[in-house]
Amino acid sequence: MSFDKAEIEMLMDGVLAWPAVQDMMREAKDEDRFDKYVEIVQERVPWDDRILLPLTPALSIVARDGRRIVKCRCGHEFGDYRVNWKLSSLIYVRDDEESLSEVYQGREMPDPSWTQVREYVCPGCGTQLEVEAVPRGCPPDFDFLPDLDTFYEDWLGRPLPDKAEYTDLTLATISEWTG
Amino acid sequence: MTELKLAEQLKANDKVFTKSGHLFGLDEMKRKEENPGDYEALWHILSNMCNIAWEVGCKVSSSPIAVEGGDALWALHLPTGEAVCISRGITAHPGLLADMIRKFIDLGYEESPGFAQGDIFENNDPHYGGIHAPDFDTAMPIFYDGKLIAWASCVTHVSDSGSVTPGSVGFLNPDCYSDGVPVSMEKVGQDDAYYPWYEMRIRSRTRTPDFVLGDAKGRLAGCITIRERLMEVIEKYGIDFYLDSVHEFVEDSRRYAVGRVKTQTVPGRMRKSQFKDLAMKGKNVILNKQDVDCLMALPMELEIDGDANIRFSLRGASGSVPFGENIHPTALKSGLLNGYSHVIGFDMFNSGPAASWDVELPPSGSWANPFDVDWSASSGVAWAPRGAVDQQPLRGLRPVVPHAGLHRGDGGRLRHHDDRRVRRHDTARLLPRRAHPRAGQQRLARTWLQRRREQRLVHLHAQRRLRQRRGDRALLSDSLPGSEHRGRLGWLRPVPRRARTHRGVDGAQHALGDRVPVRRRRHAQQGAREPRDVRGVSERTRLRQLRGRYQREAVDRGGQASRARSGTCRRSHARPQRVRDGDRKPCDAAIPDPGASPELRPDDPHRLGWSGDGDPIDRDPVSIEDDLNKGWTLPKVAADINGAVVSENGSFAVDTRATEARRTEIREKRKQRAVPFREWWTAEREKVAAKENMDPAVLEMWRSSMSLSPDFGAELRAFWGLPDDFEF
Amino acid sequence: MFGTPVIPMYEHEVEQGARELLVDEECEALAIVFLHSYTNAMHEERAAQIVRRVMAELGREVPLEISSEVAPTAREVSRANATVIQAYASSPARKQLVRIEERLKDIKYSCNLKTVLGYGGIADIRYPRLFESAMSGPVGGLMGAKYLSTVMGEENIVCSDVGGTSFDAGAITAGVLPIDREPGFQEMYVNVPMLGITSIGAGTGTYIRLDPQTGRLKLGPDSAGGTPGPTFMEAGNTTPTVNDVNLLLGILNEDNYLGGKVKVNKQVSYDLFKEKIADPLGQDVYEAAETCLGLLNVMMREHLVRSIMVGHDIRDYVLLGYGGGGPLHLLGYASDLPWKAVATVPYAGAFSAWGGACMDYSFRRHKSVASMIDPSADDAVKIGYLQPVKMGWDALEEEMLTELVEEGFSADQITIKRVIYMKYLGQLDDIEVDSPVDSIDSIDDVNALVAAFEDRYTKLFTLVAKSEYVPIQVSEVCVVATVNTPKPRLRTHKLADRKPDKKAFKFKRPVFRGGKWNDADVWRMEDLVPGNEIDGLAVIEASNTTLFVPPEWHMRIDEHDIYWLERKG
């Protein structure tokens, strides 16, 4: 089972007609969809680094100079994919009435002593990458740390040329900051 | 097949699985390979059999909860308890039912009281793995030729379980002593009849005993139906073929789930935190200890390894709460299996996939595993926190997205058989915590769920009916393409007219965040507030005026006396007051005004939309124009949130070029306004250390999260660079 | 709730609303639905009066319907839907039908045009409640079966229709058609009774696949339909279908597909089936094909078991197969269940159309009532409580007699049947009971009703579920008024010889069955006549259908040209 790249593209962009989406879901998983998907994402970015795994509509994990980093579609680089990319992002936090009420008015405004709304913005292009609504003290979610080597080698059957230990390096960065 | 006692068989099974990696040691599926036609035919027949049991059971039961709401289920199990196949219905229960049967065996019931044909065993007690008191889980052993060869099980959610407040969703239950009538891992009948004392207990302790007993009859009728038809099946196919095949069905399903994980996901670790507020201070509660604001932490970590094993962790879950929002880990796991199965999507729903799950026991003393520390914790609602978590695996399993290549709809696989349509399982329940539309989460908004086939429009239609009855205006539910980069359409739901003064009670139960913009939704009835960015269709109706005219009538219904009795499921029996012409006052309370007072009044509608997916200023101007002209969004939203430049001249038009310029501005402004994370972190950690502007509820939550999960606490301290002995 | 007005209707609001809708919003039709109008229609009627006056004043007339006239039952969601459909669709639909009738009259059609109602009656196109015809598609088959049952002298029939995509079934019990009072229509519930037919995706074009993940055999639920059709049509479909299997097994004749008008390529079927199904299963092509057919039979059989599951004894029922694919699969899904008898007809392929000619003028009217039978009450009280039932029947009967007389029928042509819906207090679903009595004047009448209910109830559910002490609630009544119409007369033929005429025999053809090839007698259906009998293994071919008779079966054509299938021995 295989779908046209054009169909995958429409699916990604949310314009594939619903019956077609259903048909797609009904079928067994097409084996080449991941590759087509990555190809499409690759075609849409202005840079050439090989995309290893798209992460979000704006961010991907790419291979760059022997490292694997998170990169925005605009080109801005966030660093090793094993460090929560949010640590390299711009952030705007709404933690008082004034800033919260820009988004939520009246009774719909959350209580700033319970919640802060964090907006992550790309330093390169200003795209809003992610939003969290969490109480003070909550470390930013490290949404997804993939085990890329297992994925490529064991599941896709084509190992990556390099290797990286599957481990969360976020706190290592933090401890550099705390010195 | 085996002469081992069931308890010994269970142990042997566990051993062989650990050793071989295959359930029951089935590295070869003999029946499936040698006789694929009969293997498949048997599956059809058994599924059918369970669905027939559903039909019978629901017709005999008295509960619209079962028939229309779908909150019931019948299932067939192996002698050792594993679920083989299930009927339509509440797929959150089969895991629990299997565990319950296993527990009967582990408790030695095979010896005493023994198992015999016609015996009825039941449990609704969360202390022993039940989900909550109104869900009665029943199992009956089935014998053939003197041997126990299967179990029939079922669950129905009854209309009243005798908890401190009427009804069957006991949010305000302060403790387990007010959860309702317990049936604790008991034999409640024999020879196909309930014991008289069982009926007496139901009559003594529930408010609607005829209905509850009607449900009991329904459960019994359904289980007997399974038993009788199973005999016919065995006569036709032979006991050996039957027993071999049903064991293979379970292993087959496990293999499928594993295989499916490998095609649908990417191995790695997913994390998502979530919070649920119970701002109950000053509200009408039952015991003093409930006069408190609580914040619950529902963090999730899900890790998939190279062998497609899934480890699920709730480390960091906060402590139990004095409301019905706690849950037993067995029930939690059962609920997760439900969610998991829908995402992975496979049409052999049984206990197989659970074997490739490792659900870590949640922190002892947390809301997800309270009893060792807080034996009295109530599970009146139980599924509410689970519901929040329920969605996480769905979401978590989707960054799977990259591999699946989809951010919509790859999650669910269609069941084959009759119903080809994917029921978009009220996706509300699939959404994780969200922020406002302009923010947009970058992960997928939707996972398409497919329900068991004949769920006969259960959720979609039952809810449509419910919504229509309450005067809701349901918007287009399949607005998938339209919701890219903007808030998703929801529907307007007037708060039910009950003489409840504290919407907070209802709200807290229903995850209407008072303090936290919670965006979870499980059933249509539950809502999360959305900013008024999402337009409600009722603006085109005269609901506003009509509501206004009857405003006073609604408030008059009830009165002081009924307020005092207010609870989550109170029904007002007061006669409505006549409203004379002169009494009516116009009121536009139908649509909440931005500046309205914080308290939601009865009859204030909620808008149940939710936030979108992706940066809102990425939304295609053509789509925005369409949204505006269809009335799905407001000009203010299009301008402020989507950064569009809009003009109106009869119809709306979006100036593409000007919009692009405006958006460029917005991006620049964002960059200027935001600061590098490290800079924020440096200032923020001081505030964290100083506990600046942190409500006591928040502090208490962190305290309990960190002490119940020391690892989690260590990580939190490490992140903010706090000393090792720092406490909130 | 009991029909007592609690709050007066705000008439000025009705008037204002009517004006706004008619003028400001320029609505095209109006439907009025009040919550409790089924009990007391006074507010709806008064509102309608006001609206009519406003329409007259404005000089703007649109169709206006009120729910208490359209469908006076308690279910407000479906009642509202039905009223709305009636309001906006009936008028334009009727106009279109009238135009068709005029065209017909132009070509000398001398009668009025009729339309089929969803519950199996026909009505003149001027019938007021035209929304009842909204879902009358599947009705033909069941109505044909009902008529056939009178000829057969059988009261219990399971009607099964195999098409290209779906397998539809419904059961007639004691001559009573299955009625669903709140069917789904375009994803809405509507309050129009409809014949109860359930379907699964299993037909002659159903796709056969192996799940790539599990290797399990999957039939459907989707199908290749007629277009692109089975792979042997070479019309673009490369996924094996059920008819590909039938062709491979020799049951379908490659030279006779659709009477020979369509060329088929059996090699294509073979190659694709081998590649996609047989080889991955590790089976011989023909064994695999037989496995698939076996699975299909199970699926269809199970569907029948479920659609008649509610307590009926299969041994009481005749299984009737029709539809283009009916005779082809009939004996497969009849299987080894102990049917009273199995039958089909030579016009199975056009059975639904034929069924259309077999319908009576028949109207149903339902009305919610609130009534109950309390076992502990004394006789007079019991009788008194049931008076709303009688009143409901009388009111409905009068309405329908008036309508039918207006259509031109005389009272003596009209048969009235009274139906009552009962359940144990607290249960959600009531059950339909044909009333053994016309009136409730004595305790004997009450007891007869209770007996009829309990009899039906224990047939439907297990004995466990019966209750001795719970009151019986009556929620609804119905009156069915029927006028017999001329039907196709199934002639009674003289029986010819058992042995068919030589010319009916075409040849022998190998058919794969039971793991090996066997020679089947191939007959021409058009040349078989009443009295003929044929032993399986046989294939009886017509231009638009094929009857497959496995070796264990025997076929006998009776004097009405009905084909009876029996197990040998």
A26 with B413: Cβ contact below 8 A: yes
* pLDDT averaged over every residue in chain B: 73
Terminal-residue alpha carbon distance, chain C: 62
Q: Which of residues 80-99 of A touch C (CB under 8 A)?
A: none
Is the domain of B654 the same as that of B623? yes
Per-residue pLDDT, B479: 26
Q: How confident is the model at residue B692 (pLDDT cuts 50, 70, 90)?
A: very high
In this complex, which of A14, A31, A107 lies closest to B480 when CB atoms are compared? A14
Q: How does pLDDT run across C109-149, given as a tens digit for each residue?
A: 988 898 889 888 888 898 888 888 877 767 888 999 988 99
From B571's Cα to the closest Cα of chain A, the distance in A is: 26
- How far is it, in rounded angstroms, from Cα C542 to Cα C529? 13
Query: What average pLDDT does the segment A130-135 reach?
Result: 85
Interface size, chain B vs chain C, as Cβ–Cβ contacts under 8 Å: 132
Query: pLDDT tens across C475-486, in order?
Result: 899 999 999 888
Of the candidates C214, C309, C461, which has its C-beta nearest B256's C-beta? C214
Cβ within 8 Å, pair B255-C214: yes
Confidence bin at B420 (pLDDT 50/70/90)? very low
Cβ <8 Å between C77 and B579: no
Of the pLDDT bands very low, low, confident and very high (cuts 50, 70, 90), residue B633 is low
pLDDT of the residue at C561: 94
Residue C174 is predicted with a pLDDT of: 76
Sheet holding C414-424, edge to edge: C114-116, C122-124, C361-373, C472-483, C414-424, C431-434
Chain C environment of B59 (Cβ under 8 Å): 310, 427-429, 460-461
Residue C564: name the closest of C295, C342, C405 by CA.
C342
B185 with B139, same domain: the answer is yes
pLDDT, greater one: C16 or A24: C16
Closest chain B residue by Cα to residue C20: B542
Q: Is the pLDDT at B516 greater than 80, yes or no?
A: no
Per-residue pLDDT at B491 exceeds 60: no
Interchain contact, A91 vs B676, CB within 8 Å? yes
Q: C380: number of CA atoms within 13 Å, CB side?
A: 0
Is the CA virtual torsion B69, B74, B80, B84 positive or negative? negative
Distance from CA of A124 to the nearest CA of C (A): 43
Q: Tell me what pLDDT residue B76 has.
A: 98
Choice between C51 and C405, residue whose per-residue pLDDT is larger: C51
- Among chain B residues, CA nearest to A55: B402
- Least Cα distance to C300 among C410, C161, C470, C415 occurs for C161
**Digit-coded pLDDT (tens) for B535-591:** 333 333 444 454 444 333 222 222 333 333 322 222 223 333 333 333 333 222 233
| Mean of pLDDT values over B697-708 | 96
- Which chains touch A (3+ CB pairs under 8 A)? B, C
pLDDT average, residue stretch A48-68 = 93
pLDDT score recorded for residue B520 = 31
* Domain stop point among B255, B284, B299: B255
Q: Is the pLDDT of residue B68 over 90?
A: no
Lowest mean pLDDT among B344-353, C62-71, C415-424: B344-353
- Inter-axis angle of helices C11-19 and C42-58, to 10 degrees? 40
Q: B59 and C299: CB-CB below 8 Å? A: no
Least confident of A92-106, B178-192, B467-481: B467-481
Flag whether B300 is in a domain. no
- Nearest CB to A141 within list B271, B514, B694: B271
Q: Which of C464, C466, C513 to mutate to test the interface with B (most CBs of B within 10 A)?
A: C464
Cross-chain residue pair A28–C222, CB shorter than 8 Å: no
DSSP E strands, B651-723: 651-654, 675-676
Question: Does a structural domain hold residue B122?
Answer: yes
CA-wise closest residue to C30 among C57, C4, C8, C54: C54
- B430 vs C531 pLDDT, higher one: C531
- B86 has which bridge partners? B75
The pLDDT of C162-180, averaged and rounded, is 85
Residue type, B517: P
- Tens digits of residue pLDDT in C500-518: 999 999 999 999 999 999 9
CATH, domain C361-483, list 3.40.50, 3.30.1490, 2.60.40, 3.20.190: 3.30.1490
Can you read off the two tokens belonging to residue C468?
């001795």
CB contact under 8 A, A28 and C213: yes
More confident position, B610 or C16: C16
Q: Say what percent of chain B tops pLDDT 70.
A: 65
Q: Which of B255, B287, B315 is the last residue of a domain?
A: B255
Q: Give the mean model confidence (pLDDT) for residues B125-142.
A: 95
Is-contact C18 C30, C-beta < 8 A? yes
Chain A residues with CB under 8 Å of C211 CB are 28
Residue of C nearest to B263 (CA): C213
Is residue B247 situated within a structural domain? yes
Take residue B297 and report the two structure tokens written for it: 């932490």
- pLDDT value of position B532: 34
How many Å apart are CA B624 and CA B644, to the nearest integer? 8
Distance CA C146, CA C155 (A): 8
The pLDDT of residue C529 is above 60: yes
pLDDT at residue C177, as a whole number: 82
Flag whether residue A80 sits within 8 Å of chain B, measured between CB atoms: no
In a domain, B131, yes or no: yes
Could you say which residues from 4 to 33 on chain A have a Cβ atom under 8 Å away from some Cβ of chain B? Answer: 8, 11-16, 18, 21-22, 24-26, 29, 31, 33
- Cβ separation B615–A128 shorter than 8 A: yes
Shortest Cα distance, chain A CAs vs residue B310, angstroms: 13
**B175-184, B459-468, B693-702, C445-454: segment of lowest average pLDDT:** B459-468
Q: What is the predicted pLDDT for the residue at B342? A: 61
What the block records as the tokens of B406 is 């989809």
Q: Are C360 and C152 in contact (CB under 8 A)?
A: no
Question: Which among A90, A129, A143 is the nearest to B676, CB-wise?
Answer: A90
Interface partners of chain B (CB pairs < 8 Å, 3 or more) are A, C
- Out of A70-79, B99-108, B283-292, B314-323, which region has the weakest mean confidence (pLDDT)? B283-292
The answer to whether position B662 is within a domain reads yes
Q: Does C187 touch chain A (CB under 8 A)?
A: no
* C336 in A contact zone (CB under 8 Å): no
Nearest CA in chain B to C201: B418
Q: Which residues from B are below 8 Å from A130, CB to CB? A: 441-442
Average pLDDT over residues C338-364: 90
Which of B425-429, B595-599, B671-675, C179-183 has the weakest average pLDDT? Answer: B425-429
Domain tally, chain B: 3
> Whole-angstrom Cα distance, residue B512 to residue B276?
9
Structural domain includes residue B283: no
**Before B517, cis peptide (omega within 30)?**
no
* Pairwise pLDDT comparison (B74 vs B532), residue with the higher score: B74
* Mean pLDDT of the region C513-540: 95
For residue B252, is pLDDT > 60? yes
- Pairwise pLDDT comparison (B202 vs B576), residue with the higher score: B202
* pLDDT level of residue B429 (50, 70, 90 thresholds): very low
Based on the fold, state whether residues B110 and B202 are members of the same structural domain.
yes
pLDDT at B675: 97
- Residue span(s) of chain C under CATH 3.30.1490 come to 361-483
Q: Average of pLDDT values for B28-37?
A: 94
Predicted pLDDT at B641: 78
| Chain C residues whose beta carbon lies within 8 Å of the beta carbon of residue A1 | 212
Confidence of residue A164 (pLDDT cuts 50, 70, 90): very high
What is the domain range of residue B179? 39-255
Q: Which of C76, C427, C431, C460 to mutate to test the interface with B (most CBs of B within 10 A)?
A: C427
Q: Has residue C366 got a pLDDT over 70?
A: yes
For residue B231, pLDDT beyond 50: yes
User: Of the ranges B544-553, B629-638, C485-494, which one carries the lowest mean pLDDT score?
Assistant: B544-553
Which residues lie closer than 8 Å to C518 by C-beta, 6 or more apart? C510, C511, C512, C537, C551
What CA–CA distance (Å, rounded) separates B470 from B4?
A: 56
Q: Evaluate whether C122 touches C116 at the Cβ level (below 8 Å).
A: yes
Q: Is C213 on the interface with A (CB under 8 A)?
A: yes
Domain co-membership, B666 together with B695: no
Q: Count of alpha carbons within 13 Å of B507, Cβ hemisphere only?
A: 33
CB B252 within 8 A of CB B348: yes
Q: In what order do the strands lie in the sheet with B72-77?
A: B83-86, B72-77, B147-157, B135-144, B120-123, B186-190, B193-194
pLDDT of the residue at C107: 94
Residues of B (532-571) whose Cβ lies below 8 Å from A: 532
Q: Are residues B630 and B682 in the same domain?
A: no
Q: What is the pLDDT of residue C461?
A: 61
pLDDT at A105: 63
List phi, psi (to 5°) of B459: -75, -45
**Whole-number average pLDDT of chain C:** 89
Query: Cα separation of B276 and B273, whole Å?
Result: 10
Q: What average pLDDT score do residues B415-433 get?
A: 22
Closest chain C residue to the Cα of B51, Cα to Cα? C306
Choose the weakest-confidence range: B83-92, C39-48, C262-271. B83-92
Average pLDDT over residues A111-119: 88
Whether the pLDDT of residue B682 is over 50: the answer is yes
- Which residue of A lies nearest to B530 if distances are taken between CA atoms? A108
pLDDT tens digits along B73-101: 999 999 999 999 998 888 788 899 999 99
Same domain? For B638 and B699 the reply is no
pLDDT value, residue B551: 34
CB contact under 8 A, C212 and A28: yes
Inter-residue contact B332 to B383 (CB < 8 Å): no
Cβ–Cβ contact B686 with A under 8 A: no
Q: Mean pLDDT across the stretch A124-151?
A: 92
| Nearest chain C alpha carbon to A27 | C211
Rounded CA-CA distance C369/C302 in Å is: 37
